[in-house]
Amino acid sequence: MRRLIPTGDPASPVAFDEVPQPVPEPDEALVKVEAFAPNRGETFLLEHPRPGLLPGKDVAGLVVQAAADGSGPAIGARVVGHPPQGGWAEYAAVPTHSLAVLPDGVDRVRAAALPLAGITALRLLRTAGSLVGRRVLLTGASGGVGHFVTELAVAGGAELTAVTATPERGARLAELGARVVHEVAAARGPFDVVLESIGGPDLHAALLKVRPGGLLVWFGQAGRAPVTLDFFQLLGGPERVTIQHFHYAGAPYGPDLTALVSLVEQGRLHPEIGRTAPWEETADTLIDLRERRIRGKAVLLVGGTRPAAEARRSTAARIPGGAR
């Protein structure tokens, strides 16, 4: 089978290789991958790939071999999965606890866009607690996680301010009900909860926007600059603020994937797909994703260009209520 492997070359970060099909463990299903979605964090790993790195954590496809232990979906089931690695390939072995069956109304493109970003958003909002009537600040909001957090938080009753680099990247979030600004300093606080994902000086600026006794959840460092906090500068800011570190990881992922798929099927969650392309274009897509030239998620299709009907469904899925 064909698999994409790291090259270590920033100008062309992956290349195809011919390898044997994976042999599933007893609690794993073999999935014929039809679509996968790279994440920006994976583009950073590809800059200096560790030995044995097999990228790919967000996949959608078809079960062609059920798990030997009897767990999980049967042969022929359409699924979305979140394997530990190895998803950028024609076949992937996925633990059954990290699979969810897709209903007919959810296509492979939207499904592939769900796992890492969607699970992160769900678990991040659970960490923040009830948001009904609360003021929330979200930094680094224009990626996949930011889109899902915005849609779910606003639907849950939050008054959300989203920080994006440009008006174009914030337009979709404004449609979802967020107040959009383009730097943390422009956000009108104080906020009950701050969800911070840029790092560098932005974390300190965001911390000053929290109300006394409020919460800042630090869940990323997309700006790639380390954070430096000056205790004496903070003395003039809000008191008794809690800073909580957050990382989404921890199987099982199946229940959260099932919840996300259900929200999509019900029309309550609309993955933003900034690009859909055949997987032969993965290297270029990874570069554009790394350089923030793609808004929302990118989805690569394994085995050829998508049918026209699926293209129409994917485009319509970007906007609640369908295409316009």
Tell me what the mean pLDDT of segment 75-97 comes to.
98
- For the cut 60, the answer to whether the pLDDT of residue 312 exceeds it is no
The rounded mean pLDDT for the chain is 91
Lowest mean pLDDT across 51-65, 202-216, 297-311: 297-311
Percent above pLDDT 70 for the chain: 94
Higher pLDDT, 189 or 278: 278
Q: How confident is the model at residue 33 (pLDDT cuts 50, 70, 90)?
A: very high
- For the cut 90, the answer to whether the pLDDT of residue 60 exceeds it is yes
Q: How confident is the model at residue 322 (pLDDT cuts 50, 70, 90)?
A: very low
The CATH 3.40.50.720 domain(s) of the chain lie at 127-245
Length of the chain, in residues: 324
- For the cut 70, the answer to whether the pLDDT of residue 119 exceeds it is yes
Rounding to the nearest 10 degrees, give the CA dihedral for residues 24, 28, 34, 37.
Answer: -110
Percent above pLDDT 90 for the chain: 79
pLDDT at 238: 87
Omega of the bond prior to 212 within 30 degrees of 0, cis?
Answer: no
Which of the four CATH numbers 3.40.50.620, 3.90.180.10, 3.40.50.720, 3.40.630.30 does domain 2-114+271-316 have?
A: 3.90.180.10
Q: How confident is the model at residue 226 (pLDDT cuts 50, 70, 90)?
A: confident
- For the cut 80, the answer to whether the pLDDT of residue 267 exceeds it is yes
- For the cut 60, the answer to whether the pLDDT of residue 26 exceeds it is yes
The CATH 3.90.180.10 domain(s) of the chain lie at 2-114+271-316
N- to C-terminal Cα separation, the chain: 40
pLDDT at 224: 81
Omega of the bond prior to 238 within 30 degrees of 0, cis?
Answer: no
pLDDT at 208: 93
pLDDT at 3: 98
Q: How confident is the model at residue 4 (pLDDT cuts 50, 70, 90)?
A: very high
If you write DSSP's letter for every residue of 144-190 in order, what string do you get?
Answer: HHHHHHHHHHHHTT-EEEEE-SSHHHHHHHHHTT-EEESSGGGS---
pTM equals: 0.89
Q: How confident is the model at residue 306 (pLDDT cuts 50, 70, 90)?
A: very low
CB 44 within 8 A of CB 308: no
pLDDT at 251: 95
pLDDT at 231: 81
pLDDT at 310: 44
Q: Domain 127-245, what fold?
A: Rossmann fold (3.40.50)
pLDDT at 190: 97
CB 113 within 8 A of CB 121: no
Lowest mean pLDDT across 124-133, 234-243, 267-276, 286-295: 234-243
